[in-house]
Amino acid sequence: MNENFTHLAFGPSALSLQERYGSRFAYSRVAQSGERFRLTPSEIDFIRERDGFYFSSVGANGWPYVQFRGGPTGFLKILDERTLGFADFGGNKQFISMGNMADDGRVVLFLMDYARRQRLKIWAEARWTYAEEDPELINRLQDPTYPAGRAERAVVLTLRAYDWNCPQHIPQRYTLDEIRRDPDLLRQLGTAA
């Protein structure tokens, strides 16, 4: 079942703290605002512009794990309004995230745009398949110009919910590509200081 993010994120302790600090009423209205599990053009555009995201999972031992997944801009693909996917390449061979997904497919993604101070959180159910089991999916997810070689797996994420965060504590940072695309950016930053 797909839900509003508040039903997935707010456990009894979070609700109690919201009550104590005065945010419970506002978030109860958010909970009533309807389901947020179908991507709109805003989320789709934001996702397509990202070159990385933070990926969290929980192991069978109950401990959370977070890693950064990066690649060429747009490597996290929109398969439809409720499904995302990415090609997974060989790394350090620890297989922590993959093992966690095999035990419990619930994951959360944090997608950041530091330049614009925006953050999109996505709750999803993840599954993965080996490249040889679904070469068509691998071809759909893999960028042929990315020099990492052939993907070992495809990771497919079924959205359960998403939420945008406020920019209050997001530091403003720029990538080299952003600076290369806008050479005046450094000069503008220098005059703003």
Dist. CA 55–CA 163, nearest whole Å: 15
Under 8 Å between Cβ of 50 and 113: yes
| The total number of structural domains that make up the chain | 2
Range of the domain at 181: 36-192
Question: For 151-177, what is each residue's pLDDT tens digit?
Answer: 999 999 999 999 998 888 999 898 888
With vertex at residue 183, the alpha carbon angle to CA 182 and CA 188, rounded to the nearest 5 degrees, is 90
Residue 25 sits in the same domain as residue 67:
no
Work out the percent of the chain whose per-residue pLDDT is above 90.
61
- Written as six digits, the tokens of 164 are 């945008």
Does 96 share its domain with 147? yes
Indicate the pLDDT class of residue 91, thresholds 50, 70 and 90: confident
Q: CB-based burial of residue 12 (10 Å sphere; 0-12 exposed, 13-18 middle, 19+ buried)?
A: exposed
Which pLDDT tens digit goes with each residue over 67-80? 999 999 999 999 99
Q: Are residues 41 and 116 in the same domain?
A: yes
176 and 156 share one domain: yes
